[in-house]
Amino acid sequence: MKKTFSITLAGILFNIEEEGYVKLKDYLDSIREHFSEFEGSEILDDIEARAAEKFSEKIKPSKQAVTLADVEEFIGSMGTVEDITGEESSGSRTDSSGKSWKEKKLYRDPEGAMLFGVASGLANYFGIDPVLVRLAFLVSLFFGGAGIIIYIILCLIVPEAKTTSQIMEMKGRPVNLSNLKEAAEKKFGQAKKNISVSRPFGKIAKKVRPAIKRIGQFTAVILGVVLVIGMAAALLGISIVFANLLFNADSPFLAFSGKEYILSSEYYLAVTSVFFAVFIPIFFGMFVGISLIRRKWTLKLTAGLLLLFGWIISIAAVGVFAPRIAGRYQEKMQNRKNSETVRDFDIRVQGI
Amino acid sequence: MKSENIQAQMRKGILDFIVLLVISRKPIYVSDILKELKTHELIVVEGTLYPLLGRLKNSGLLEYSWKESKAGPPRKYYKLTKSGKEMLGRLSLTWNNLNKSIDSLRAC
């Protein structure tokens, strides 16, 4: 079952299925946009009249609504929006294909910017993800900080892409009439959305807010990097420690006293539980770091729940085994101490 | 540049001339213009005719009258105005001259 819309084309009433309506509306709107008010309305009237004619032929008692297929057939015989609008705009053709690849220009990108758009601009120029560029700058901090100087130099030298045609040169799209119109329309659409938000402090807030937001985002990314590196190191460290505790427990190199008393199956279980109890939060911390860098929450709900569940179990296990082992350890240590004092006493007694 | 682009440009250049020529015979509406062109092996996308006809009309070369039709809305029947006929004359001359020049170019 399909929903239909009631439309008139050149004064003739049609029922048209929803999908057909959307497609037809899109087609007609695109054509209308391209022409001036005056000539556009007449051209559209003609095209609508033609549509009315064609659709009238398709309507009969057994088929009472215009379908998507009818619309597509109509558009097919009429020609694409480009065919129709291309005829009249000979001024915008830079070369006959109209889609020439243009050299990109390096600009600072104000739209994708975190601080000053340096990374975003570079990313646009080379066609890579801005995250990679930012990461490169941050990593360079650890290697003598040359990155900061380069960043500042770029910030001063590279111009910001302010006008629409500059933005298009930055992205490498050919600057011709249809692209400019597209870009302007997009911007207009965004501006409309912004107008509806009320700003209590007006001009000052306008300038300060984005700067604060950017500094906040910047710190978040740095924090993220620190977290990831730190957590990864911690993970490596505790993995080594616990691996040793598990597999090399009986090696003479591990010197903690009384270990001969606590090596048992319970011991291994306890160590494993402690390992997970420590590992999981560190692992989680790493995910938080990654999420900060990517500015997007990177942990899926099921995975998160699994981690949480695993952690609770390991804590419980620790809670069970640790006291038992501790108890046994204490017991044994107590016994050893007792036997040692007995020996001491013996020796002294004998030495009289 | 692909050859199709050059060829398309060539065709585009004489489209106004061709359309005026077809309309000069008798009052005619869009669908029939297309059919006429097709019989003479000139394939034109229907959508391109509407802006073109609008332009010619706004330049005073064409005028139209409405005729009722059985299957649908009324149709615009176009015919040439006086300036339209004059323009057609000039364009025919241009075409003949071009034709002669190209023939003589190829001949040598």
Q: Which of A166, A136, A170, A169 is nearest to A150 (CA)?
A: A136
Q: What is the pLDDT of residue A195?
A: 54
Query: Does residue B96 carry a pLDDT above 50?
Result: yes
Region of residue A8 (phi > 0: left; psi between -120 and 50: alpha; otherwise: beta): beta
Q: Which of B85, B63, B83, B65 is nearest to B74 (CA)?
A: B65
Q: Which residues of A touch B (CB under 8 A)?
A: 9-12, 35, 39, 42-43, 46-47, 49-50, 52-53, 56-57, 77-80, 83-88, 95-97
Give the highest mean pLDDT range of A66-70, A174-178, A202-206, A249-253.
A66-70
Average pLDDT over every residue of A18-33? 91
Average pLDDT over every residue of A66-88? 85
More confident of the two residues A176 and A167: A167
Q: What is the pLDDT of residue B1?
A: 58
Task: Give the Cα-Cα-Cα angle A244, A249, A251 (nearest 5 degrees).
Answer: 100
* Average pLDDT score, chain A: 77
Per-residue burial over B96-105, b if 16 or more Cβ lie within 10 Å, else e, is: eeeeeeeeee
More confident of the two residues A184 and A291: A291
With cut-offs at 50, 70 and 90, classify the pLDDT of residue B75.
very high
Per-residue burial over B30-51, b if 16 or more Cβ lie within 10 Å, else e, is: beebbebbeeeeeebbbbbbbb
Please state, in angstroms and rounded to a whole number, the distance separating the CA atoms of residues A84 and A327. 88
Average pLDDT over every residue of A286-301? 79
Spatial contact of A92 and A43, defined as CB atoms under 8 Å apart:
no
Average pLDDT over every residue of B90-96? 95
Question: pLDDT for B2-19, tens place per residue?
Answer: 777 888 888 888 999 999
Residues of B in contact with A80 (CB under 8 A): 47
**Under an 8 A CB cutoff, do B72 and A57 touch?**
yes
Average pLDDT over every residue of B28-48? 91
**Under an 8 A CB cutoff, do B51 and A83 touch?**
no
| Cβ partners under 8 Å of residue B67, min gap 6 | B29, B74, B75, B77
Query: Does residue A175 carry a pLDDT above 70?
Result: no
Lowest mean pLDDT, pick from A27-36, B47-56, B75-84: A27-36
Task: Give the Cα-Cα-Cα angle A200, A204, A209 (nearest 5 degrees).
Answer: 80
Q: What is the pLDDT of residue A203?
A: 57
With cut-offs at 50, 70 and 90, classify the pLDDT of residue A199.
very low
How large a percentage of chain A has pLDDT more than 90? Answer: 17
| Cβ partners under 8 Å of residue B79, min gap 6 | B23, B26, B27, B28, B62, B63, B64, B65
Burial class (CB in 10 A: 0-12, 13-18, 19+), A66: buried
**Under an 8 A CB cutoff, do B12 and A87 touch?**
yes
Of the candidates B1, B51, B73, the beta carbon closest to that of A43 is on B51
CA distance B68 to chain A (A): 12
The number of angstroms, rounded, from the C-alpha of A31 to the middle of its chain's C-alpha atoms is 36
Query: Does residue A188 carry a pLDDT above 70?
Result: no
Total residues belonging to chain A:
352
Average pLDDT over every residue of A255-272? 64
Spatial contact of A74 and A82, defined as CB atoms under 8 Å apart:
no
Please state, in angstroms and rounded to a whole number, the distance separating the CA atoms of residues B13 and B66. 29
Lowest mean pLDDT, pick from A181-185, A241-245, B43-47: A181-185
Q: What is the ipTM of this complex?
A: 0.85
Query: Does residue B40 carry a pLDDT above 80?
Result: yes
Please state, in angstroms and rounded to a whole number, the distance separating the CA atoms of residues A155 and A147. 12
Query: Does residue B34 carry a pLDDT above 80?
Result: yes
With cut-offs at 50, 70 and 90, classify the pLDDT of residue A229.
confident
Question: pLDDT for A79-131, tens place per residue?
Answer: 888 878 775 544 333 333 333 345 678 888 887 777 778 888 888 888 888 88
More confident of the two residues B79 and A219: B79
Spatial contact of B33 and B46, defined as CB atoms under 8 Å apart:
no
